Amino acid sequence: MFDSMKEGNAYRCLINGRWVSGRQPPIEVIQPADKRVLGTVPALSKEEVDEAFAAAKEAQKQWAETPVSERSALLHEASYLLEERAEEIADVLSREISKDYASSLSEVKRTADFIRFTADEGKHLAGRTVGADSFPGFHKRRFSIVTRVPLGVVLAISPFNYPVNLSASKIAPALVAGNSVILKPPTSGAISALHLAAVFSEAGLPAGVLNTVTGRGSEIGDYLVTHPMVDFISFTGSTAVGKRIARQVGMVPLLLELGGKDAAIVLEDADLDDAAKDIVSGAYSYSGQRCTAVKRVLVVESVADALVEKLKERVLALKTGMPHEKVQITPLISDQAADYVQELIDDALAKGAKLVCGNRREGNLLWPTLFDFVTTDMRLAWEEPFGPVLPVIRIQDAEEGIEIANRSEYGLQAAVFTKNIDLAFSIAERLEVGTVHINNKTERGPDHFPFLGVKSSGMGTQGIRYSIEAMSRPKVVVVNLEP
Does residue 310 interact with ligand G3P by CB under 6 A? Answer: no
Which lies closer to ligand NAP via its Cβ, residue 122 or residue 242? 242
Least separation in angstroms between residue 264's CB and ligand NAP is 17
| Residue 291 interacting with ligand G3P (CB under 6 A) | yes
Taking a C-beta distance cutoff of 8 angstroms, is the pair 164, 192 a contact? Answer: yes
Q: Is 443 in the site for ligand G3P (CB under 6 A)?
A: yes
Pairing relationship of beta strands 254-257 and 232-236 according to DSSP bridges:
parallel
Torsion-angle region of residue 208: left (phi > 0), alpha (psi -120 to 50) or beta? left
78 neighbors 200 (Cβ within 8 angstroms): yes
Is 445 a binder of ligand G3P (CB under 6 A)? yes
Query: Could you say whether residue 162 binds ligand G3P (CB under 6 A)?
Result: yes
At 136 the three-state DSSP class reads coil
Indicate the residue among 213 and 311 with the shorter CB distance to ligand NAP. 213
For helices 190-202 and 86-97, what crossing angle results, to 10°?
A: 160
Which strands, in side-by-side order, build the sheet including 294-300? 354-357, 369-372, 389-395, 294-300, 262-266, 413-417, 435-438
Number of residues located near ligand G3P, criterion CB under 6 A: 9
CB closer to ligand NAP out of 161 and 330: 161
Q: By C-beta, is 134 or 218 nearer to ligand NAP?
A: 218
Residue nearer to ligand G3P on the CB measure, 161 or 214: 161
Q: Where are the beta strands (DSSP E) in 323-412?
A: 354-357, 361-362, 365-366, 369-372, 389-395, 410-411
CB atoms within 10 A of CB 125: 19
In the complex, what is the shortest distance from the CB of residue 409 to ligand NAP, in angstroms, rounded to a whole number? 12
Q: Rule CB under 6 A: choose which of 99, 195, 290, 314 binds ligand G3P.
A: 290
- Is 357 known to be catalytic? no
| Residue 443 interaction partner, one of ligand G3P, ligand NAP, none, beta carbon < 5-8 Å per kind | ligand G3P
Cα–Cα dist 317/33, whole Å = 21
Residue 343 neighbours by CB distance under 10 Å: 14
- Residue ranges binding ligand NAP (CB under 6 A): 157-161, 184-187, 216-218, 221-222, 224-225, 236-238, 241, 244-245, 257-260, 291, 384, 386, 412, 453, 458
- Residue ranges binding ligand G3P (CB under 6 A): 161-162, 166, 290-292, 443-445
Residues with catalytic function: 257, 291
